[in-house]
Amino acid sequence: MPLQSLDITRRSATTTQPPSARETTSVAKLIDISKCIGCKACQSACMEWNDLRDAVGDNTGTYDNPRDLTENSWTVMRFFEVEPNGKLEWLIRKDGCMHCADPGCLKACPAPGAIVQYSNGIVDFHEENCIGCGYCVTGCPFNVPRISKKDSKAYKCTLCSDRVSVGLEPACIKTCPTGALVFGSKDDMVHHAEERIADLKERGYQQAGLYNPAGVGGTHVMYVLQHADKPELYGLPKDPQISPLVSLWKGVTKPLALIAFGLAALGSFFHYVKVGPNEVDDEDTAVDAKARAKEEL
Amino acid sequence: MRADLIERYKAGDRMNHWLVAILFVLLALSGLALFHPAMFWLTNLFGGGPWTRILHPFLGVVMFVAFAWLAIKFWHHNVIEPRDRQWMKQWRDVMANREDRLPEVGRYNAGQKVLFWVMVACMIVLLLTGIVIWQPYFAPSFSVTTLRIAVLLHAFAAFVLILGIIVHIYAAIWVKGTVRAMTRGTVTRRWARKHHPAWVRQIEGGEGLGIIEILTNG
């Protein structure tokens, strides 16, 4: 829940430019999966900073706990046991909002100001404007937003917009013990990722690379992947983009539909003005009577 | 009842129709509120955004049930016949009030029948997709892809239905003497003979027509 802001790039269900006088540096979180040990300190830090407590879950035979993102767990570690090159690898990915440059949730949202995007790239939910329709769930290419069963509002990672706005790093970054999580300007993070990728390539991960998918305009949460050619190994979509179904639903078709309603009403009125009403007049009755008289003969 | 009047809708059918009509208006307003940002202010009519989201699906279910009752009762009147195709081919004559050139019309003309079936189709699509996207009860049990298809179809069916109702309302304004069929339940014989001659013949049993003619026209 951020403070009133003058650096809003986009605002949901708003067709005019929101306040955007302030320009802030584009920021990014970089998650280096090759350095993650799956300690879940980031999960704890997220809960602690945001005052969230999820219900105690159940064990499903994996380390995933909670099993999925929820309204109270804005980030979760997902564990994958894979054998990409005939060799067992344990890949651990910190899942959560990707903070897309082209956010599908914001595009789908019908409530003005329930979702905003700041000029630093953070996509934030303003729950006091949320109506609980769940459209953001349909818009998200990464299946991140969760609707609370308690208050029917949508929740997800804020990238600690409150901390970032006062010059602090997100809580998860602050707590990460291995340096797998780093935060800074997006340019710096891309540069840092390049160094990490060069290092990984040297160590035999020829397909190492940065996950910053262009299909959603790039993201403000990026991953260094050992196997960037196979993001599915980490449970990530290969080429995420706003679904064409959502674009069709929320694109140019809606204003066109409104215009069609207007034209139908206007066309009807003009038809009345031009052709006039269809009335029963004396002439009709006369014709009718004549025809009937003929029939009877 | 006056001799120059014919009953077209019974009291129950009229109340049923207006129940559907009122619910349709509420649903169109609350639906359009979430359809485009320019319409969001309509949520104020329903007590705000969350209340609009909460009320819309319940109203929708009630409308579907009320409409289903009406549709079942009028189903058999709306079966498309060969002469309806000819009527549709002559839509220019329809629009220009040249009814004398059209094939004889029964209880409903082809335009009314097509609208009936469009409404039946839209109502079914709206109910099924509406259940899928209904928060918080049913939506969580469907996949994101299913939700995406459902919201798109829901908006499309609503678009078609609203356009259809604009035509429906205008037709009632355009063809004078029509509205009383749904408000009073009766139409004049002259109206019925002009617009639905085959229907008049059917209810009058084809007999005694000459006498009625004399009675009504002096």
Point out the residues of B that are catalytic: 168
Q: How confident is the model at residue A3 (pLDDT cuts 50, 70, 90)?
A: low
Average pLDDT rounded to a whole number, residues A30-42: 97
pLDDT digits (tens, 9 = 90+) for B131-165: 999 999 999 999 999 999 999 999 999 999 999 99
- 3-state SS assignment for residue B205: coil
What is the C-alpha separation between A230 and A113, in angstroms, rounded? Answer: 36
Contacts of B213 (CB under 8 A, 6+ apart): A289, A292
Max CA pair span of chain A: 106
Q: Shortest CB distance from A280 goes to which of B147, B194, B209?
A: B194
How does strand A154-155 pair with strand A146-147? antiparallel
Peptide bond preceding A66: is omega within 30 degrees of 0, i.e. cis? Answer: yes
Q: Note the pLDDT of residue B3.
A: 82
Closest CA to B53 of A151, A201, A51: A151
Torsion angle of the four alpha carbons A161, A163, A168, A174, in this order, in degrees rounded to the nearest 10: -90
Q: Note the pLDDT of residue B185.
A: 96
- Residue B215 pLDDT > 80: no
Structural domains of chain B, count = 1
Q: Kindly report the average pLDDT of chain A as a whole number.
A: 93
Handedness of CA B46, B48, B51, B53 (dihedral sign): positive
Question: Is the minimum CB–CB distance between B25 and chain A shorter than 8 Å?
Answer: no
- Residue B50 pLDDT > 70: yes
Strand partners, A155: A146
Note whether B36 contacts A264, CB cutoff 8 Å.
no
E strand intervals along chain A:
8-11, 27-32, 76-82, 89-95, 115-118, 123-125, 146-147, 154-155, 181-185, 209-211, 221-225
DSSP class of B35? T
- Look at residue B175 and tell me if it is in a domain: no
Q: Shortest CB distance from A279 goes to which of B39, B166, B176?
A: B176
Question: Is the minimum CB–CB distance between B215 and chain A shorter than 8 Å?
Answer: no
Q: Note the pLDDT of residue A289.
A: 55
- Look at residue B51 and tell me if it is in a domain: no
Instruction: State residue A188 phi and psi, 5-degree precision.
Output: -60, -40
Tokens of B144: 């994101």
Choose from B135, B161, B216 for mutation: most chain A CBs within 10 A: B135
pLDDT digits (tens, 9 = 90+) for A223-268: 999 999 999 999 999 999 999 999 999 988 999 999 999 999 999 9
Note whether B144 contacts A143, CB cutoff 8 Å.
yes
Note whether B100 contacts A287, CB cutoff 8 Å.
yes
Domain of residue B204: give its range.
Answer: 188-218
- Look at residue B215 and tell me if it is in a domain: yes
Contacts of B61 (CB under 8 A, 6+ apart): B127
Question: Is the minimum CB–CB distance between A62 and chain B shorter than 8 Å?
Answer: no
From 3.30.70.20, 2.30.30.90, 2.40.160.20, 3.90.1150.10, which CATH number describes the A8-242 domain?
Answer: 3.30.70.20
Q: How confident is the model at residue A175 (pLDDT cuts 50, 70, 90)?
A: very high
Q: Note the pLDDT of residue B211.
A: 47
What is the C-alpha separation between B93 and A240, in angstroms, rounded? Answer: 53
Average pLDDT rounded to a whole number, residues B70-82: 95
Tokens of A31: 């998650």
Average pLDDT rounded to a whole number, residues A185-202: 98
Q: For chain B, give me the number of helices (H) and strands (E)?
A: 10, 2
* Domain boundaries defined on chain A: 8-242, 252-296
- Residue A129 pLDDT > 90: yes
Choose from A278, A284, A297 for mutation: most chain B CBs within 10 A: A278
Contacts of B189 (CB under 8 A, 6+ apart): B4, B5, B6, B200, B212, B216
Q: How confident is the model at residue A136 (pLDDT cuts 50, 70, 90)?
A: very high
For B37, the closest chain A residue by CA position comes to A13
Write out residues 161-180 of B within 8 Å (CB-CB) of A.
162-163, 166-167, 170, 173-177
Average pLDDT rounded to a whole number, residues B108-122: 97
What is the C-alpha separation between A190 and A197, in angstroms, rounded? Answer: 10
- Look at residue B213 and tell me if it is in a domain: yes
Q: Look-up: residue for tokens 């979180």?
A: A29
Average pLDDT rounded to a whole number, residues A91-100: 98
What is the C-alpha separation between B51 and A132, in angstroms, rounded? Answer: 10
Note whether A272 contacts B210, CB cutoff 8 Å.
no
- Look at residue B201 and tell me if it is in a domain: yes
Note whether B35 contacts A265, CB cutoff 8 Å.
no
Chain B hits for A112, Cβ within 8 Å: 37, 40
